[in-house]
Amino acid sequence: MDLVIEAGAYNGEYELGGLALKSLTVSDGAADVSLSFSEPNLIEMTELRYSTGASDVRLEGLANANFSTLVFDGGAGNYTLDFSGELQRDATVSIDSGLSDLRIVVPVGVNAIVTIDGGLTDINTSDGWSQSGGVYTQKGEGPTLTIVVNMGAGNITITD
């Protein structure tokens, strides 16, 4: 199933775990949203795309979405992308954001590479991450999660 959610200014909670989603596209405005995958997606998702404005967005259990590519476009806001769950295959994430506070959660034991591009950003990481320039790496087992962040200005926290 291909699922498209289009909304303006709203408060919303979505639980999409256990569905068979081939693709997911969410587009909203000034929103307060929690979207989660508490159980694995039943099929491989080709793309998860989320576009938002000045919002407070929490995406949780993202590894359970079983996506190949995730594209997140945000304006000014507070964003949490939590990759908890079971990462079943290599996955690529592109995050573009303006002035924001971005929290990226990658569980301990997951292979992950996070590359930070952009302007004035304050970057904080938890233990277990190594840094070389704008590239942050966590060693683990299994598939690799590759994340590229392009942010105008703001705060980035990479944690487990």
What average pLDDT is seen over the chain?
96
**Averaged over 131-147, what is the pLDDT?**
96
Q: What average pLDDT does the segment 129-152 reach?
A: 96
CA gap 85, 60 in Å, rounded: 9
AA identity, residue 134: G
**pLDDT at residue 126, rounded to an integer:** 94
Could you give the C-alpha distances from 63 to 32, 85, 86, 120, 155, in angstroms and in order?
A: 22, 5, 5, 29, 23
Eight-class DSSP state of 41 = -
pLDDT at position 123: 94
Which pLDDT does position 139 carry in this prediction? 96
CB 1 within 8 A of CB 24: no
Mean pLDDT of 35-60: 98
pLDDT score recorded for residue 113: 98
For residue 145, pLDDT over 80 is answered with yes
Instruction: Return the closest-CA partner of residue 109 out of 143, 146, 62, 133.
Output: 143
Contact (Cβ atoms closer than 8 angstroms) between residue 26 and residue 36: no
Number of Cα atoms under 13 Å in the Cβ half of residue 141: 2
Instruction: Give CA–CA dist 43/24, Å, rounded.
Output: 12
Q: Render pLDDT for 90-133 as a digit per residue (tens, 0 to 9).
A: 999 999 999 999 999 999 999 999 999 987 789 999 999 999 99
pLDDT value for 35: 99
DSSP 30: S
pLDDT at residue number 34: 98
* pTM, full prediction: 0.96
